[in-house]
Amino acid sequence: MNATKEPTFRESVDLMFNRAVALMDLPPGLEEKIRVCNATYTVRFGVRLRGQIHTFVGYRSVHSEHMEPVKGGIRYALAVNQDEVEALAALMTYKCALVEAPFGGSKGGLCVDPREWDEHEMERITRRFAYELAKRDLIHPSQNVPAPDMGTSEREMAWIADQYRRMNTTDINARACVTGKPLNAGGIAGRVEATGRGVQYALRDFFRHPEDIAAAGMEGTLDGKRVIVQGLGNVGFHAGKFLQEEDGARVTGIIEHDGALYNDEGLDVEAVRAWIIKHGGVTGFPDAAHTAEGNAVLEHDCDILIPAALEGVINMDNANRIKASLIIEAANGPVTAGADDILRKKGVVIIPDMYANAGGVTVSYFEWVKNLSHIRFGRMGRRQEEARHQLLIDELHKLDDHLGDAWTMSPDFKEEYLRGAGELELVRSGLDDTMRTAYRAMREVWHARDDVSDLRTAAYLVSIDKVAASYRALGL
Ligand code: NAD
């Protein structure tokens, strides 16, 4: 790899931002105000574990407060560092603007390998980290609302919410201090799979536009398309599973931390996930070829490549060998700015991270609203909706009797039509609408402007425009 030329994650985000603002007409100084990260807080704290004090380093970065609260996940990984957290916080600003979630951008991280500690130890580490952030309002329902990211899940979010509540016993909105919580701790139906579901909805909308399919040198629908997924964690697993089960895509490769599996006939995503949970990796999985050289499988022949693990995996070293004609960035920053240039010239279409993985923050937004309104979505209207549908069904029954064999209701129609929307249906509907609206805003810029040749630049243009409008309206 050419280490001198490959930009860091943070530099990549800035380079992509700069490419877009060069095409805009922003007032002097505003461009820099939007680009820079407002503040990054570093904390070092000790936790007594296994008979000695262990010191942990954590970060919470606030990129832009043009809207509050600011929002962004908390990542647990040994490689977490300030550069990475700031890049991720910047992406959150652009992502929230693009999908019209009314938040500024933030991100957090803790240098820890969750696999090294047992559950009880992780709880103590997480509560201590949450305490450090909450006492500085870096966790707060109206100022800063974290969510899960790599290495964290519902479990950590429940601990964080409880820690905040203990510190703020009279705050009636305490549960809105973090999203991605379990249902029984103030979470929302459909949040766990939201990011993967969003990837699916993004691809579905892409495949509704023949012009876009042609731009990627493809034809047809998602049915039968060969997909390679990197990272079968929360995002990669759900995206792969839904695309396989509901859209007929064929997952031919799965890349994990200990190598990759491939099978041209298709892999059973659910079975691979179960294997990983039981054995800690993909090694030994039957019914597929295995290679320890996981990243080599990124270069296998396929239609759609879904990097859903780490940043920088498609870089100047391997970009030229990537064979997929469509890449959807389920992870944040999987394609470096250098690789982006190479792939664009090759005609590969990239659905950018700030859009592709926005399903998580979209459903987090719904969860936050649910927590503030203290009522589950659908609770007021569902039965009333069903009663009104019943009226129509009763009339159709009369018609059915009257027309005899000439007309009859389709077998499942009555049952499906009668069912009012519960929280899960409403969340899916809101997510689908958000992903479609944002995709259409991006593709319009992509196709309408001669100086925009890719979806990423289009995404930046749409989102920076919205952030700039906020700053103009609110003042700095
Ligand atoms: P996760 O921890 O649930 O899963 C990550 C997976 O990647 C794990 O299965 C891990 O074993 C695997 N992995 C680790 N190193 C790897 C390597 N070198 N090669 C291949 N696989 C490797 O994390 P996640 O929540 O699914 O997040 C994945 C990506 O999606 C991250 O970039 C994250 O920022 C982004 N993202 C997540 C969410 C969310 O809601 N969880 C939302 C938006 C974006």
pTM exceeding the 0.75 threshold for the entire prediction = yes
In tens digits, the chain (476 residues) has pLDDT values of: 444 589 999 999 999 999 999 999 998 899 999 999 999 999 999 999 999 999 999 999 999 999 999 999 999 999 999 999 999 999 999 999 999 999 999 999 999 999 999 999 999 999 999 999 999 999 999 999 999 999 999 999 999 999 999 999 999 999 999 999 999 999 999 999 999 999 999 999 999 999 999 999 999 999 999 999 999 999 999 999 999 999 999 999 999 999 999 999 999 999 999 999 999 999 999 989 999 999 999 999 999 999 999 999 999 999 999 999 999 999 999 999 999 999 999 999 999 999 999 999 999 999 999 999 999 999 999 999 999 999 999 999 999 888 988 888 888 999 999 999 999 999 999 999 999 999 999 999 999 999 999 999 999 999 999 999 999 887 76
- Quote the pLDDT of residue 404: 84
Pocket residue to mutate for ligand 1, from 150, 242, 315, most atoms within 8 A of Cβ: 150
Task: Specify the residue with its C-alpha closest to ligand 1, atom 18.
Answer: 257
- Quote the pLDDT of residue 405: 84
Which CATH superfamily hosts domain 37-187? Leucine Dehydrogenase, chain A, domain 1 (3.40.50.10860)
Long-range contacts of 350-354 (CB under 8 A, 24+ apart): 350/326, 350/454, 350/455, 350/456, 351/202, 351/203, 351/206, 351/326, 351/327, 351/455, 352/455, 352/456, 352/459, 353/91, 353/95, 353/329, 354/91, 354/94, 354/95, 354/98, 354/456, 354/459, 354/460, 354/463
Pocket residue to mutate for ligand 1, from 71, 234, 354, most atoms within 8 A of Cβ: 234
What residues are annotated to the active site? 107
- Quote the pLDDT of residue 476: 62
Q: Report the relative pairing of strands 52-64 and 349-351 from DSSP bridges.
A: unpaired
DSSP string, 186-250: T--TT-TTHHHHHHHHHHHHHTT-HHHHHHTT--S-STT-EEEEE--SHHHHHHHHHHHHHH--E
- Quote the pLDDT of residue 4: 54
Cβ < 6 A, ligand 1 pocket: 148-151, 195, 230-236, 255-257, 294, 308-310, 330-332, 357, 360
The whole-angstrom separation of Cα 144 and Cα 134 is 9
Q: How far is the CA of 235 from the centre of ligand 1 (A)?
A: 6
The ligand 1 atom at the shortest distance from the C-alpha of residue 194 is 40
Q: How far is the CA of 381 from the centre of ligand 1 (A)?
A: 37
DSSP string, 235-260: HHHHHHHHHHHHH--EEEEEEETTEE
- Quote the pLDDT of residue 240: 98
Q: Report the relative pairing of strands 226-230 and 250-256 from DSSP bridges.
A: parallel
